[in-house]
């Protein structure tokens, strides 16, 4: 839409949380609730993870038996009372190898399952977001940048997928290892176990402190990343405008400021993430030294065997490792939770009501009469911009909406198509309140040609046929001839099969507008909305298009938003808007006789034209 209302919802970069941390546990609960449909696979994955970890934990204890057997045999051989039983040692090693093979097999299975689950969750989320975006009201997009919305579909979902794939299995493995190792250490020696357990309170204190400080930075990192993406997308898409107004330095400065915020939040989050491992390693090494001293003392006293000391050293290493892994997982989970919050914020946004009970059916009997009955509206309920507007439009009439920029012309169209609902009053089509129609069916009644053209990467024929997908080539060519576009299309290298690039920059702006007009003609809707449809073409082409438009609008109710008043002199009804109010209405001759705002506006344009 071309009209920019001063009172419309501000377009920004989404809500910022500043220093306040969001609800971590709430985000995890929502994610787990969303993953309920994968609970069978999750259960199998957890069983495999626990089984693989248990087999891995038992290994050192059996290996300790081999060490004890070797040590006792060596001592017996030195004393001359026996020899080393290599057969028994070999059997112990075979059992150990078997345990590790089973552990590897279960670990492979759980990794395979979890990768599938994370990919399915990512696919499902993107699918739900795509469907959700079709149900969101227009005000949602008007209050956010394209990059902010895009970031939730790409970066946030990717972050969530990586977090799921890496953190869940790692967390289960670490917790199982911690419990299993604790049990095995207790089975070896209680006092050495108590000495090792002393490092846990210190470790948990460090983890909780780091989590408390890092959570807000991980969320800020995701938000500022969305801002940066938004700026990059808009700057690249509008680079010609940036250059035309010599705003390169301004946009670079704005990007640098946002990028610095992203850098600061990312640096802080990664700093906390990076400092976790060396601190935990230091705490683990302190515990390792304490246990080594106590173990040596108990061995001298004969309280435990040498093989048990060797097993315990392996266990204490495995005891501190899961604590470190849990610390790493918490950082992943912080980032994944921040991404999860943003994704579910989008999925929980208030939707546009698409259907209604007992809707009015739209069929070929639609005549196209429109009535505005005491309509009032404001983007902000406390700031009403259209006040008590009433008008009746007969089927087939041409209605022009004129006024200065920001007067509310495009707002009237948005209300008519129910992109926004009126605060009070009723808008009727064929005597039916538009609230009684399904929104999608209501909008199918309208054909639109906007000032801002929209074409996609594909052939010209495909772009034209977008107006009516079942149209034949002959119908599309006939529509192009009616819009005086057939001639220029034939001059292109491949005619109707010429491929437009992503920005459609291989055709001129006027030709883009002609193609959108062709599309509207082909759609053949009962009601038409033309928003400065000829503003991008030259005067001669405008005259040709205006003739085609007159043929197109004949027998159809048409709403024409115009700045050049010379193009709407033949309108059946002209609505003159200023500051959201309809200050004058009537046909061209009547409004000129009034000598009011419209007459002054028209005469000022006429004077400018005649003075050129």
- Cα dihedral 507, 509, 511, 517, rounded to 10, equals 130
- How would DSSP label each residue in 72-101? HHHHHHHHTS----HHHHHHHHHHHHHHHH
3-state secondary structure 150-164: HHHHCHHHHHHHHHH
User: Is residue 545 over pLDDT 70?
Assistant: no
Quote the pLDDT of residue 80.
67
| Strands 499-500, 557-561: pairing kind | unpaired
Can you give the C-alpha Rg of the chain in angstroms? 36
Average pLDDT over residues 178-202: 80
The residue among 37 and 287 whose pLDDT is bigger is: 37
Q: What are 560-589's pLDDT values in tens digits?
A: 887 777 778 888 888 888 876 778 888 888
Distances (CA, A) of 251 to 74, 232, 257: 78, 10, 10
Question: Quick check: 34 and 340 in contact, CB under 8 A?
Answer: no
Quote the pLDDT of residue 340.
86
User: Is residue 489 over pLDDT 70?
Assistant: yes
The residue among 567 and 2 whose pLDDT is bigger is: 567
What does the mean pLDDT of the chain come to?
A: 79
Which of these ranges, 324-328, 368-372, 471-475, has the smallest mean pLDDT? Answer: 324-328
User: Is residue 24 over pLDDT 50?
Assistant: yes
Which of 53-67, 81-95, 191-205, 365-379 shows the highest mean pLDDT?
A: 365-379
Q: What are 147-167's pLDDT values in tens digits?
A: 778 888 888 888 888 888 878
User: Is residue 48 over pLDDT 50?
Assistant: yes
Reported confidence tier of residue 3, pLDDT bands at 50, 70, 90: very low
- Identify the CA nearest to 46 among candidates 132, 143, 117: 117
For 583, the 3-state DSSP assignment is strand
- Identify the CA nearest to 549 among candidates 530, 531, 535, 575: 530
Quote the pLDDT of residue 609.
44
Helix ranges restricted to H, 348-453: 409-416, 439-443
Question: Quick check: 582 and 576 in contact, CB under 8 A?
Answer: yes
- Identify the CA nearest to 441 among candidates 520, 360, 377, 368: 360
Residues facing 4 on adjacent strands:
none
Backbone φ, ψ for residue 399 (5° rounding): -110, 125
If phi over 0 gives left and psi between -120 and 50 gives alpha, with beta otherwise, what is residue 522? alpha
Quote the pLDDT of residue 21.
33
Could you tell me which residues come within 8 angstroms of residue 496 by beta carbon, excluding any fewer than 6 positions away? 459, 460, 461, 464, 473, 476, 477, 480, 489
Helix ranges restricted to H, 456-596: 460-465, 473-482, 486-491, 509-523, 539-553, 588-594
Q: What are 94-129's pLDDT values in tens digits?
A: 888 888 898 889 889 988 898 888 889 889 988 998
Average pLDDT over residues 195-208: 74
Quote the pLDDT of residue 17.
35
Average pLDDT over residues 361-365: 74
How many degrees, rounded to 5, is the angle at CA 491 between CA 490 and CA 492? 90
Quote the pLDDT of residue 305.
72
User: Is residue 608 over pLDDT 50?
Assistant: no
Quote the pLDDT of residue 16.
37
Quote the pLDDT of residue 570.
81
For 501, the 3-state DSSP assignment is coil
Reported confidence tier of residue 461, pLDDT bands at 50, 70, 90: very high
Q: Which two tokens stand for residue 566?
A: 């010379």
Q: What are 59-98's pLDDT values in tens digits?
A: 777 776 777 777 667 667 666 676 777 777 788 788 888 8
Quote the pLDDT of residue 572.
86
Question: Quick check: 62 and 28 in contact, CB under 8 A?
Answer: no
- Identify the CA nearest to 255 among candidates 145, 140, 139: 145
User: Is residue 283 over pLDDT 80?
Assistant: no
| Strands 527-531, 581-586: pairing kind | unpaired
User: Is residue 483 over pLDDT 50?
Assistant: yes
Cα–chain center distance at 229:
11
């Amino acid at each position: 839409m071309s009209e920019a209302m001063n009172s419309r919802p501000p377009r920004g970069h989404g809500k910022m949380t500043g220093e306040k941390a969001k609800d971590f546990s709430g985000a995890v609960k929502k994610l787990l609730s969303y993953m309920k449909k994968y609970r069978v696979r999750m259960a199998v994955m957890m069983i495999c993870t626990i089984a693989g970890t248990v087999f891995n934990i038992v290994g050192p204890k059996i290996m300790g038996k081999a060490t004890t057997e070797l040590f006792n045999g060596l001592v017996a051989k030195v004393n001359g009372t026996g020899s080393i039983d290599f057969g028994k040692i070999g059997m112990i090693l075979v059992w150990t190898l078997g345990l590790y093979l089973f552990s590897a097999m279960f670990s492979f299975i759980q990794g395979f399952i979890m990768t599938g689950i994370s990919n399915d969750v990512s696919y499902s989320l993107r699918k739900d977001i795509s469907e959700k975006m079709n149900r969101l009201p227009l005000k949602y997009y008007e209050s956010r940048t394209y990059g902010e919305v895009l970031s939730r579909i790409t970066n946030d979902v990717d972050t969530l997928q990586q977090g799921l794939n890496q953190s869940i299995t790692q967390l289960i493995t670490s917790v199982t290892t911690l419990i299993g190792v604790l049990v095995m250490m207790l089975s070896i020696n209680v006092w050495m176990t108590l000495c090792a357990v002393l490092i846990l309170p210190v470790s948990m204190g460090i983890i909780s402190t780091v989590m408390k400080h890092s959570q807000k930075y991980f969320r800020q990192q995701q938000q500022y990343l969305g801002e940066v993406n938004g700026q990059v997308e808009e700057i690249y898409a509008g680079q010609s405008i940036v250059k035309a107004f010599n705003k390169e330095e301004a946009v670079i400065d704005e990007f640098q400021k946002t990028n610095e915020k992203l850098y600061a939040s990312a640096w802080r989050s990664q700093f906390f993430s990076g400092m976790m491992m060396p601190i935990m390693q230091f705490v683990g090494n302190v515990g390792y030294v304490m246990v080594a001293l106590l173990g040596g003392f108990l061995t001298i006293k004969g309280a435990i065997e040498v093989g048990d000391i060797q097993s315990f050293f392996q266990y204490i290493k495995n005891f501190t490792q899961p604590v470190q892994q849990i610390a790493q997982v918490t950082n992943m989970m912080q980032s994944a939770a921040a991404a999860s919050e943003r994704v579910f914020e989008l999925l929980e946004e208030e939707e546009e009501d698409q259907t209604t009970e007992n809707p009015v059916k739209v069929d070929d009997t639609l005549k196209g009469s429109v009535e505005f009955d005491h309509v009032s509206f404001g983007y902000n309920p406390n700031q009403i911009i259209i006040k008590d507007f009433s008008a009746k439009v007969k089927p087939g009439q041409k209605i022009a909406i004129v006024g200065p920029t920001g007067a509310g012309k495009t707002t009237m169209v948005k209300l008519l198509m129910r992109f926004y609902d009126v605060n009070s009053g009723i808008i009727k089509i064929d005597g039916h309140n538009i609230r009684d129609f399904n929104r999608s069916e209501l909008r199918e009644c309208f054909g639109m040609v906007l000032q801002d053209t929209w074409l996609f990467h594909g052939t010209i024929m495909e772009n034209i046929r977008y107006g009516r997908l079942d149209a034949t080539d002959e119908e599309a060519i006939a529509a192009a001839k009616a819009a005086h576009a057939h001639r220029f299309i034939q001059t292109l290298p491949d005619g109707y099969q010429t491929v437009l690039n992503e920005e459609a920059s291989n055709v001129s702006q006027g030709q883009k507008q002609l193609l959108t007009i062709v599309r509207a003609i082909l759609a053949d809707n009962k009601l038409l909305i033309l928003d400065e449809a000829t503003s991008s073409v030259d005067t001669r082409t405008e005259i040709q298009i205006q003739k085609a438009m007159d043929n197109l609008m004949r027998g159809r109710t048409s709403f024409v938003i115009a700045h050049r008043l010379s193009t709407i002199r033949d309108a059946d009804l002209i609505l003159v808007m200023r500051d959201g109010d309809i200050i004058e209405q009537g046909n061209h001759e009547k409004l000129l006789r009034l000598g009011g705002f419209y007459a002054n506006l028209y005469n000022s344009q006429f004077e400018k034209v005649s003075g050129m």
